[in-house]
Amino acid sequence: MSSRSILRRLAPATVLAAPLLLAACGSGAPSSSDIQQVVVQRMQAANQETQNKSFGLFHGPYDVASFKVTNSDCSSESNGIWRCAVTAVNGTETNTATLRFKKVDGAWTLVVA
C-alpha cells in the first residue's frame, strides 16, 4: 500500500477528529480572567456577609475594584482539578498564592480542601 493511499484513508478520520481535539482544548486550565471572576465573587460574598453582620455599618474588608489577577500558572491534578499559582494586585500590594479550581456545571469554582 502506497503512502498516498494511506493518507487518503486517514484524511477523513483526521477531519472528523479535529473538532473533538479542539473541544478538548476548551476544557483546559482556568484563565487569569476566570480566576479573577471566582475570587471577586468570593470577595463580594465576604463583603456582603460583613455588611449583614454589622447591620449595614461596615461594607466589608475587600476592595474589589482595585483587585486584579496579573498572572496564573496552572497544572492539572486529578478529577478535573487545577492547581494554580496566582499572582494578584490589590491596590499597591502584590501577592502570590496557590489556589485550586474545578469546573462545575460550566463554571469555575474554588476548591477548598
Q: Could you tell me where the beta strands, DSSP code E, fall in 36-90? A: 67-76, 81-90
The three-class DSSP label of residue 110 is strand
In a domain, 10, yes or no: no
Task: Give how many domains the chain has, as a whole number.
Answer: 1
Q: How many CB atoms lie within 10 A of CB 91?
A: 10
In a domain, 4, yes or no: no
In a domain, 3, yes or no: no
In a domain, 5, yes or no: no
Q: Write down the pTM of the prediction.
A: 0.72
What is the full per-residue pLDDT of the chain (113 aa) written as tens digits?
A: 544 444 344 444 433 443 433 334 455 999 999 999 999 999 999 999 999 999 989 888 899 999 999 999 999 999 999 999 999 999 999 999 999 999 999 999 999 97
Say if residues 80 and 100 touch (Cβ distance below 8 Å): no
In a domain, 8, yes or no: no
What's the pLDDT at 60? 85
User: What is the Cα–Cα distance from 101 to 73, expressed in whole angstroms?
Assistant: 12
What's the pLDDT at 1? 54
In a domain, 12, yes or no: no
What's the pLDDT at 20? 38
In a domain, 6, yes or no: no
What's the pLDDT at 27? 59
In a domain, 23, yes or no: no
What's the pLDDT at 10? 42
Domain of residue 72 covers 29-110
